[in-house]
Structures are given as C-alpha cells and as structure tokens.
Amino acid sequence: MTLILFNKPYGVLCQFTDESTGPPRPTLAAFIDMPGVYPAGRLDLDSEGLLLLTDDGRLQARIADPRFKVPKTYLVQVEGDPDKAALESLRGGLRLKDGPTLPAQVERIEEPALWPRDPPVRFRKTVPDCWLRLTIREGRNRQVRRMTAAVGHPTLRLVRWRIGDWTLDGIGQGQWREAEKIG
C-alpha cells in the first residue's frame, strides 16, 4: 500500500489530467510521477496544502468519505477580525445552503510561517485580516470558505495543514513524500 503526502500549490488541479476545453492548467502529473495513486479527497484550485494520494481504494474511501469524520485542519487567512460571536458560531456549527455543519474547532493564531503564495493574496491597507486554525470533520464542497463567509469573514487564503494524523510538516510547496508506515 502506498500513501503520498503532497503539498499542493495554489492553482493546481487535484487530478492527473486537465479535461477542460479552456487554457491548460497545471495538474498533479507535473509534480507526481508514480503510477496507480489517486487523490483521497480534493482541494479546490484556489486552495493549497496537504493532499493525500493512495493506491488503496479502502484507505481512499476512509480518508475522503464524510461518514468517517476524519478531522481536517486548515490555516485560514480571513478578511476582517472575527469577534467572539463569529468564532462561537463556527464552533457551534452553521446552517449553510446544503444543511447544517458539524461544530468546528477554531482558534485565532499568529500568521504562520508559510511559503509565499503565487499570486499573492491582495493586500488592502484599509481592511485588516487575521489567521485562524480551523478543524472540521466533514468535507463538503468549499465548506471552509462558505463557513467563514457565513460569519462575515471571507477566506483570503486557505491551506490544509493536517488530515487525521498526517501533516505538511517538512514538506515544501510542490513537494511530496511517501508516508513512513500506514495504519
């Protein structure tokens, strides 16, 4: 069984081929040359960070399927400075268009030491921003972005740092490594 931990850059598709009819976009094939592995879950084109790839279908399902409630931790740069009520709303669970979310763990953090994003997040002198560490146990489409927007603080940058026990520690942007030992 193979498990790869990949630090997906901004603007890279979470698949090995680009099937769109528009201009070509970078895919996993530009970074990972290992046949037979497939993403366990997804990260949006405009999100960065930890993506797990495996050749084991059962492991892939256990990681990606929301029924298993594998915790996923994100470092989130948001517009504005969320107050206690906004953070409590995230902690208590929110009602989104596709239904209620499970409660999230969230805390305000200092700006993390991350690689520069290309292109950089737009800086506005008149609008503050803040970083959060947010952990969810679901994986709905654009869920973290929709949650922060629902409490009035749109996401500016989203980096998935952890999935279950696997983290980005020591993995540079666009780099990958094989997991030491699985389960």
* Model pLDDT for residues 114-163, shown as the tens digit of each residue: 999 988 888 777 788 999 999 999 878 899 999 999 999 999 999 999 99
CB-side neighbour CA atoms (13 Å) of 171: 24
Q: Which of the following is catalytic: 18, 44, 55, 129? A: 44
DSSP for 100-168, please give it. EPPP-EEEEEPPP--PPPSSPPPP-TTS-EEEEEEEES---TTHHHHHHHHTT--EEEEEEEEETTEE-
Which residues sit opposite 136 in a β-bridge? 72
Quick check: is 98 catalytic? no
C-alpha–C-alpha distance, residues 145 and 105, integer Å: 15
C-alpha–C-alpha distance, residues 94 and 82, integer Å: 15
C-alpha–C-alpha distance, residues 70 and 138, integer Å: 7
Predicted confidence at residue 126, as pLDDT, reads: 76
Q: Decide: pTM greater than 0.75.
A: yes
- Of how many residues is the chain composed? 183
Confidence category of residue 181, pLDDT binned at 50, 70, 90:
low
* Residue ranges of domains in the chain, CATH in brackets: 1-67+165-183 (3.30.70.580), 71-163 (3.30.70.1560)
Mention every residue, 6+ apart, whose C-beta is less than 8 A from residue 29: 16, 17
How confident is the model over 17-61, as pLDDT tens digits? Answer: 998 888 889 999 999 999 899 999 889 999 999 999 999 999 998
Q: Are the beta carbons of 136 and 70 closer than 8 angstroms?
A: no
